[in-house]
């Protein structure tokens, strides 16, 4: 699966370089090794390929279980190691999968909004991202995507013909929490994580996190 993933990421880089105005900022902020939770806003089905092409680590994604029933899509997702997840309720098995990867210095990608936003503005994040960060004590890498919402279908992905920006922020860690984490604390930490993503976005993309302070360059 690793070879298939690397081949797919290389092909994506080739296509995006040739057929999109694709810009990546902050690549040097990506830790070269160790566990990492990549957290991004979610605009399009094109988000995972653009993240895979932009971040110089082997990324591990989850996809909703329904997609695995679509023959071409499901086959590709299995080939590159995407893990099925149930978006209804708490998916304990998916949580274990993420924790196991992080224990082995893997990189997992989360879209805490839970689904693609119907507008460019961010939706409220789900508290599972904070729970995973606390449980694993892995650093969080905020990433902001703009432009992928203009790619309407999988058919357009190889030839996007649009401007896409991937802005990578500085990694950070959540404070240690002893014992069971109360929901209000999880909510506050989720807001903190999502605000780090929003701070990397233009104002019109921040949505629920419109008051986030803009991130400084460099």
Q: What is the mean pLDDT of the chain?
A: 91
The residue ranking higher by pLDDT, 110 or 115, is 110
Q: Look at residue 217 in the predicted model and tell me its pLDDT.
A: 59
pLDDT band at 57 (very low <50, low <70, confident <90, very high): very high
Assess whether pLDDT exceeds 60 at residue 218: no
**Given this model, what pLDDT does residue 117 score?**
81
pLDDT mean over 121-143: 96
**How much is the average pLDDT of 192-207?**
97
- Average the pLDDT over 188-215 and give the result: 94
Q: Over 80: is that where the pLDDT of 164 sits?
A: yes
What is the share, in percent, of the chain residues with pLDDT greater than 70? 96
The answer, as to whether pTM is greater than 0.75, is: yes
- The burial class, CB within 10 Å (0-12 / 13-18 / 19+), for 107 is buried
Specify the pLDDT at position 114: 87
CA gap 166, 30 in Å, rounded? 13
For the residues of 117-149, what is the DSSP string, one character each?
Answer: -SSSSPPPPPTHHHHHHHHH---EEEEEEESGG
As a whole number of angstroms, the distance between CA 51 and CA 57 comes to 10
The average pLDDT across 202-211 equals 96
Reduced to 3 states (helix: H, G, I; strand: E, B; else coil), residue 94 is helix
**What structural domains does the chain harbor?**
2-209 (3.40.1130.10)
What pLDDT does residue 79 have?
79
DSSP code string of 155-173: GGTTS--SEEEEEE---B-
Round to whole Å and give the CA distance between 193 and 81.
26
Given a cut of 70, is residue 134 above it in pLDDT? Answer: yes
Residue 130 has pLDDT above 90, yes or no: yes
pLDDT of residue 138: 98
Residues 82-108: tens digit of each pLDDT? 888 876 667 789 999 999 999 999 999
């Amino acid at each position: 699966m690793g070879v298939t993933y690397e081949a797919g990421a290389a092909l994506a880089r080739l296509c995006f370089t040739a057929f999109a105005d694709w810009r990546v900022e902050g690549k040097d902020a990506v830790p070269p090794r160790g566990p990492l939770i990549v957290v991004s806003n979610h605009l399009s089905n094109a988000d995972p390929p653009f993240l895979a092409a932009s971040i110089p680590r082997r990324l591990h994604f989850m996809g909703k279980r329904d997609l695995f029933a679509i023959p071409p899509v499901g086959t590709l997702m299995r080939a590159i190691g995407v893990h099925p997840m149930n978006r209804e309720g708490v998916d304990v098995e998916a949580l274990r999968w993420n924790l196991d990867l992080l224990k082995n210095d893997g990189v997992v990608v989360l879209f805490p909004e839970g689904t693609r936003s119907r507008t460019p503005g961010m939706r409220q994040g789900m508290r599972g991202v904070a729970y995973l960060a606390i449980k694993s004590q892995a650093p969080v890498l905020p990433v902001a995507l703009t432009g992928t919402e203009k790619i309407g279908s999988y058919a357009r992905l190889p030839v996007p013909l649009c401007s896409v920006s991937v802005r990578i922020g500085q990694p950070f860690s959540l404070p240690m929490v002893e014992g069971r984490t109360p929901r209000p604390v999880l909510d506050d930490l989720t807001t903190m994580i999502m605000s780090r993503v929003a701070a990397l976005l233009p104002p019109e993309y921040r949505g629920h996190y419109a008051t986030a302070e803009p991130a400084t360059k460099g």
